Amino acid sequence: MWLDILNNENLLLAAETLIIVVGSMLLGILLSYLTAGGNRQKLAGLEASLEEERKQSDALRDQVMQITHERAESLAVNDALKSKISDQARTIFDLQQQVFQKEADQRKQQAELEALKTTLDSFEYRIDVLRKELETSPAQEDIPLKSIVTAPLRANYEHVSKLLGKQVTENDLTIIAGIGPKTASLLQSNGIRSWNDLANTGVDDLRTILADAGGVYKNQDPTHWAKQALMASLGEWRKLRVFQESLKKLE
């Protein structure tokens, strides 16, 4: 019977076919197993890589949070510094304003002091003149003191013009250093028409006249006008020339 089966070609062909199919199936199963094993290894590697990436992502997230926190603290510190700088700038500005005000007050006090010195010099000159006149004049009880103070002094104006280097006429206000023709006209329009009038006018009054006139007049300094006018009214021409030369050196 087995010989008949072995001699039957159809059965042999069927058996070979079956063997081939079964072998292919076994081979496929084996390959699938091997492939699945490789994929599992790859999957495990990918999972490990993913876990590493996750850890790095968490570390980066922590770093970002720390940087954000530090940035917030830096902004807070920066805002505090800006506020402090602003307060210091405001304090410095206030101190500068106080300094400017004190300097202005000091200049005003200095000007007032100069005016007082000028007025004092004027009185000292007049007292000195009165003393000399009283010492050199005979005692005359019937001569009023006012006539001694206001008596006009006549001078040789030709000689005075040569001494001062400019044309001098009686009660010419332009011989005073700092007074030009326009300023002289301004003073005359305010009742100051002679050297004696100018000598008896306070510096503050002169400044008021100049300030009210405005323009270039308000920038003029009348501090030494009364002193010069007093010298002119007393005929102290040499003293006037020396004093005016000293003023030129100070300019």
Buried b (16+ CB within 10 A) or exposed e, 154-179: eeebeebeeebeeebeebbbbbbeeb
Burial class (CB in 10 A: 0-12, 13-18, 19+), 101: exposed
pLDDT for residue 201 is more than 80? yes
pLDDT for residue 42 is more than 90? no
Find where tokens 């400044």 sit: 207
Give percent of the chain above pLDDT 90.
Answer: 25
The SS3 assignment for 178 reads coil
More confident residue, 91 or 100: 91
pLDDT for residue 149 is more than 60? no
Instruction: Report which residue type is found at 202.
Output: G
| pLDDT tens profile 156-177 | 788 888 888 888 889 999 999 9
pLDDT for residue 204 is more than 50? yes
pLDDT tier for residue 150 given thresholds of 50, 70 and 90: very low
pLDDT for residue 144 is more than 60? no
Q: At what angle do helices 203-213 and 225-234 cross, to 10 degrees?
A: 120
pLDDT for residue 90 is more than 50? yes
More confident residue, 233 or 150: 233
The mean pLDDT of the chain is 79
**What per-residue confidence (pLDDT) applies to 63?**
84
pLDDT for residue 72 is more than 80? yes
| pLDDT tens profile 114-134 | 666 666 665 676 676 666 656
| pLDDT tens profile 94-118 | 888 888 788 878 877 876 776 666 6
DSSP string, 113-138: HHHHHHHHHHHHHHHHHHHHHHHHSP
